[in-house]
Each structure stands twice: as structure tokens, then as C-alpha cells.
Chains A and B, each alone.
Chain A
């Protein structure tokens, strides 16, 4: 079946650093979504992308829909402690089913 490769699996960052994560697929997607999940909570939608090449920001977060339609990345600028959590990408293809990445866990270095 379809799979998404999300990397890195986890990241240790210093407060104030920029963060980058990405997802790649062997299939073409029509929509890319980025979610964040805090401990004990459900995923929360951060950014939705609907067009190849689209670059969208939500505060310090910026996400892009890759021009090949097979990848997407999420950048977080000037990270703060509340950025910790697990970030998930999800892609939607022609069959409308959402395919999910395994997540990137963001951890702030003490």
C-alpha cells in the first residue's frame, strides 16, 4: 500500500533554533497536511496545502507542497519550548484516503 517516509524520526533542538522536517512518498498526492500532537491530546491541524509548489505560513511555521507532488516539508523558525511534541504529515491522493507519516518527535535540549 501507499506509504509516507517522514524524517527525521526525532530531533533534539536548542531553544531558538530553526527546525526542518519532511515527508516523501512514492505516490502523487493532491493535498498535504501537517499536524502536531501534544502528549495526551489528539493531533491538531497546523497547515493544509492544496497546490504543487504552494508555500504557506502559520506564524513561525512554514510548509511547502513539493513541485513533484511527492514530498512536503515543514519548517519551524526560532523554536520555543511549546513547540515540543510530535509532528505528523499526511497526504491525500485520488482515492481520498489520508496516508500518514510515522511522526517526527521534537525535543528541546535542557
Chain B
């Protein structure tokens, strides 16, 4: 496999559920990102990891919990979400966290019911 792979592609969860989104990059990059994409809005940066260390957390509610066990894998743990959290969640990677050129996965379409 090449590039950035996200699983699952689609997820429907209740507000009391706990689920996790997974991202894997095969590009040898050192930085990984979680973005939230809502309809007709700019991409919202959620978290940035550089060399497995979180370097940025853009005031994201604690019901979203990221985890980066190594430079190739990134998780987003979800619990007690709200319907307004329904969106496309995109993972991206770049050579280093100050680099502009990010490569994106296909995203996970999340629906909270």
C-alpha cells in the first residue's frame, strides 16, 4: 500500500458509544494531522503530531482523544460525541510538521445519531 490509509471509511455511532478512527501513512513522513471537514466550511485542524509528540491541539473538545504510537500510525478515539460532530475526518501527513505539503487519506465519514 502507498500513501495515507484511513479506516473505517464510514462510521455510524450513537452518542454513548466509544469508537476509534485509524490512520496509517506509508510515506516515511514525520508529522501527522487530524482535520475535521464540515460541508461548505474550511478544513479545521484538530491535532498535529511531530515525531509521535503532540505539538498542536486546536481547542478540540476532550471527547476527541488522539494517539500516535509511532510515526506511521495515528488514532482518534471518540466517546460521548454529539450530533454536530458528524463530519468527514481526514488524516494527513507531511515530511515535517512545519512543512506545508500535506498528503491526505480518503477520510472517515462519521455520523453521530
Report the bound CA distance from A43 to B92 in whole Å: 9
Report the bound CA distance from A35 to B104 in whole Å: 10
Q: Is the CB of B45 within 8 A of A98?
A: yes
Q: A96-B97, A96-B98, A103-B40 are in contact. Are A44 and B104 (CB under 8 A)?
A: yes
Q: A96-B97, A96-B98 are in contact. Are A42 and B104 (CB under 8 A)?
A: yes
By secondary structure, the A interface counts as: strand
By secondary structure, the B interface counts as: loop
Q: Is the CB of B42 within 8 A of A4?
A: yes
Which of chain B's residues have a CB closer than 8 A to the CB of A45?
Answer: 101-103
Q: Is the CB of B101 within 8 A of A48?
A: yes
Is the C-beta of A7 less than 8 angstroms from some C-beta in chain B? Answer: no
Which of chain A's residues have a CB closer than 8 A to the CB of B103?
Answer: 45
Report the bound CA distance from A40 to B105 in whole Å: 11
User: How many residues from B make CB contacts under 8 Å with A?
Assistant: 20
A3 to chain B, nearest CB (A): 8
A-to-B contact residues, CB < 8 Å: 4, 9, 31, 33, 35, 40-45, 48, 88, 90, 92, 96-103
Further 20 A-B residue pairs, CB within 8 A, beyond A42-B106, A42-B107: A4-B42, A35-B104, A40-B106, A41-B106, A41-B107, A42-B90, A43-B90, A43-B104, A45-B101, A45-B102, A48-B100, A88-B43, A90-B43, A90-B100, A92-B100, A97-B45, A98-B45, A98-B102, A102-B42, A103-B40
